[in-house]
């Protein structure tokens, strides 16, 4: 792709719930919008089977359906989509330049909604056995472990949700947490306890994942071991913000904003899992995307001299 001379009102990096909602609100509000996504619209929605706590769906909603409908809604109101990976951000006077692996894009404002990825646990052998039994996505890889013993490492909501999901395939699911109690919400803790296939292992730290061509065993820091064929790791998130260095990140790379989702750089906003302080839920990502879009629109209108006082 050659450098594009067109200047969009709003560039959005990331097509997860935050980015898709921002695209919806901004395009519906009359802005020209280009949403840049390196993979496919939906973000981490594609990493889960269903969502039980999204308002309006008493029995939950299929994650892939929600992702597809969000994309279709944004497109309906005129948002454009580009498959590319953001690599750097520069601001040149009132124009923001977004560098991608396919060329340079220009916008009057920018929303960083690039999300986050599952963090590595750091056990010996984890990196070498990733894709050979070590996974960070139960929905993607769970069916590969039908009638097999698997371990889930983590104690938060995601770990518990994925452990429950894996009971549909695995013969046994060992939920391993380094503390003496799970951090998940009460409903998920009770769900875990009600599943006969889930074996809870607290106060245990995995120090090594062993196997030759595939996972065979995990070893704990007390030298005890457990034979499993799959290890699913859910120990937190790292933000996808390497391209946004210098845009007020915290020490872990999350983007710092004010309540309007604005960064310290005029015209640059952030929303969703990449933002410091985000609750990291689909419903709050959507809320943050809407707030960021509305404030980006107000910023653009002030720039054009068409803004009304709020």
Q: Is 274 a catalytic residue?
A: no
Cα–Cα distance between 96 and 245 in angstroms, integer?
14
Q: Which residues contact 54 (CB under 8 A, 6 or more apart)?
A: 60, 61, 66, 282, 283
Q: Is 238 a catalytic residue?
A: no
Cα–Cα distance between 183 and 69 in angstroms, integer?
32
Strands of the 206-210 sheet, one edge to the other = 206-210, 217-220, 225-227
DSSP 227-250: E-SEEEE-S-EEES-GGGTTSSB-
Among 3, 101, 140, 250, which one carries the catalytic annotation?
140
Residues 174 and 217 sit within 8 Å (Cβ to Cβ) = no
Residues 89 and 268 sit within 8 Å (Cβ to Cβ) = yes
CA dihedral 40→42→46→52, nearest 10 degrees, is -170
Among 141, 273, 274, 286, which one carries the catalytic annotation?
141
Q: What angle do CA 48, 52, 56 make, to 5 degrees?
A: 125
What DSSP character marks residue 139? H
Q: Could you list the active site residues? A: 137, 140-141
């Amino acid at each position: 792709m050659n450098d594009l001379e067109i200047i969009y009102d709003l560039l959005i990096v990331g097509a997860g719930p935050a980015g898709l909602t921002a695209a919806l609100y901004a395009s519906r509000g009359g802005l020209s919008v280009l949403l840049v996504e390196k993979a496919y619209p939906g973000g981490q929605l594609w990493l889960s089977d269903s969502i039980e706590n999204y308002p309006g769906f008493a029995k939950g909603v299929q994650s892939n359906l929600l992702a597809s409908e969000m994309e279709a809604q944004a497109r309906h109101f005129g948002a454009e989509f580009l498959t590319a990976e953001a690599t750097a951000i520069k601001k040149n006077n009132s124009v923001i330049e977004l560098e991608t692996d396919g060329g340079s894009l220009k916008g009057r404002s920018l929303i960083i909604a690039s999300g986050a990825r599952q963090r590595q646990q750091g056990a010996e052998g984890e990196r070498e056995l990733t894709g050979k039994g070590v996974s960070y996505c139960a929905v993607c890889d769970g069916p590969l472990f039908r009638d097999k013993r698997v371990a889930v490492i983590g104690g938060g909501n995601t770990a518990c949700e994925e452990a429950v999901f894996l009971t549909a395939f695995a013969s046994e699911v060992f939920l391993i947490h380094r503390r003496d109690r799970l951090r998940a919400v009460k409903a998920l803790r009770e769900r875990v306890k009600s599943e006969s296939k889930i074996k809870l292992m607290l106060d245990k730290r995995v120090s090594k994942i062993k196997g030759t061509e595939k996972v065979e065993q995990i070893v704990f820091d007390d030298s005890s071991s457990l034979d499993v064929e799959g290890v699913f790791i859910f120990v937190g998130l790292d933000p996808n913000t390497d391209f946004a260095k210098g845009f007020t990140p915290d020490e872990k790379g999350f983007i710092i904003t004010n309540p309007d989702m604005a960064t310290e750089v005029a015209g640059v906003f952030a929303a969703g899992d990449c933002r410091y302080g985000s609750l990291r839920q689909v419903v709050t990502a959507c809320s943050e995307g809407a707030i960021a879009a509305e404030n980006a629109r107000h910023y653009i209108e002030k720039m054009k001299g068409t803004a009304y006082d709020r």
